[in-house]
Amino acid sequence: MRLALRELRRRPGRFAVAGGAMAFLTVLLLFLGGLLDGLYLGSTGLIRSQAAELLTFSDDARLSLLRSRIDPPVRDEVEAVDGVESVRGLGVALVAASVPGENDLADVSLVGYEGGVEGVPDPPEADFVGYADRRLEAFGVEEGDRLGLGPDGIEVEVVGWVEDTSFLLQGGLWVTPATWREVLGSARPDAVLADGTFQALAVTVAPGADPAAVASAIDEATGSTETVTRDEAVLALPGVKEQSSTLSAIINTTFLVVGIVVALFFALVTLERSALYAVLKAIGASSRQLLVGVVVQAVVVAGAALAVGGLLTFLLSLVVPPGVPVQFEGGRALQVVVGVLVASVLGSAVSLRRVIKVDPADAIS
């Protein structure tokens, strides 16, 4: 092991090509992971933040919050189902908002709610005030601003901040149901809703009740709804499932490429060192010791590549346009670190067979 580390210290240029390739792949992995997390978190925050286990949509909406309509009589039927503890209305309107002092419009998902949202206070006592998602800070929104929503510029004052509540990559603005209905009717005259009508219902299941059984009972009782779990509602959002599967496949393929790069590099290095390994074996070194040296070098090179790749990714994040939904999460970074190290160890282990086959007699031939 000491010999392997000494070679790294004295001849770092020998490992520069492999290290540079791995650093580039690290940047790619971190950026793809940030894009995957940014797309997922930025699209699903509104649904994920619901404390209720179930969400009820109209059966003709195909689990789309924007197309669904739940009238008060249907809500009464849902509330009467055994196993239902509470029901809260939920609705959203995707609108553009003017920001004081800013030329560009902000993309806002205006949410009308009746409570039961994790990380969001209970609905404001007054209309035309709301809690804004931190995502809107990128548009210059500040607490106390009065945002002009929709084509009529209906003003809503920002009275506080919430986090991770975006919907379809638009920052959330949480308001009373009355405010939401007025803005929705202004932005979409064809979608005017009567008092008491919501787009969906967030259903909290009574303790001990089976959510799946309660969901089936709700749909059977109403005959006009489709009730799913919170996770199912998240996956039903446009593009979420497809984006996650596509980017995850690319990330996994990149990990495979890391392993291949390491395997090819150390296969060539092992071939070049055959005579040296023969000498080392002739003076008592075992195949295990030689292989440990190769693995140690792979891990050190991978560690240096991760450090350089992480620094480059940080610098890249400073110049990424605000419109690119990249969000770097600690868990994703840890996954990349572990994945690159594991791929490096497995790739270097490809040299095992060649190291074992080195004959000490070659040292005196």
List, in order, residues 6 or more apart from 288 with CB less than 8 Å away.
none
Interval 27-48: pLDDT, tens: 999 999 999 999 999 999 999 9
Q: Where are the domains positioned within the chain?
A: 2-43+240-364, 60-223
List, in order, residues 6 or more apart from 46 with CB less than 8 Å away.
65, 92, 109, 111, 165, 166, 167, 172
How far apart CA 27 and CA 17 sit, in angstroms, is: 16
pLDDT computed for residue 345 by the predictor? 85
Helix (H) or strand (E) holding 202: strand 200-205
Degrees, nearest 5: CA angle 56-59-65: 55
pLDDT computed for residue 267 by the predictor? 74
Task: Name the pTM for this structure.
Answer: 0.83
Whether 363 shows a pLDDT value over 50: the answer reads no
Q: What 3-state class would DSSP assign to 49?
A: coil
Interval 249-277: pLDDT, tens: 999 999 999 988 888 887 776 666 665 55
How far apart CA 279 and CA 256 sit, in angstroms, is: 34
List, in order, residues 6 or more apart from 156 with CB less than 8 Å away.
110, 128, 129, 130, 146, 147, 149, 173, 175, 179, 183
Whether 364 shows a pLDDT value over 60: the answer reads no
Q: Are 59 and 226 in contact (CB under 8 A)?
A: yes
List, in order, residues 6 or more apart from 282 with CB less than 8 Å away.
360, 361, 363, 364
Interval 232-250: pLDDT, tens: 999 999 888 888 899 999 9
228 bridge partner residues:
55
Interval 311-350: pLDDT, tens: 999 999 888 887 788 888 889 999 999 999 999 888 877 7
Residue listed under structure tokens 């709301």? 130
Q: What 3-state class would DSSP assign to 114?
A: coil
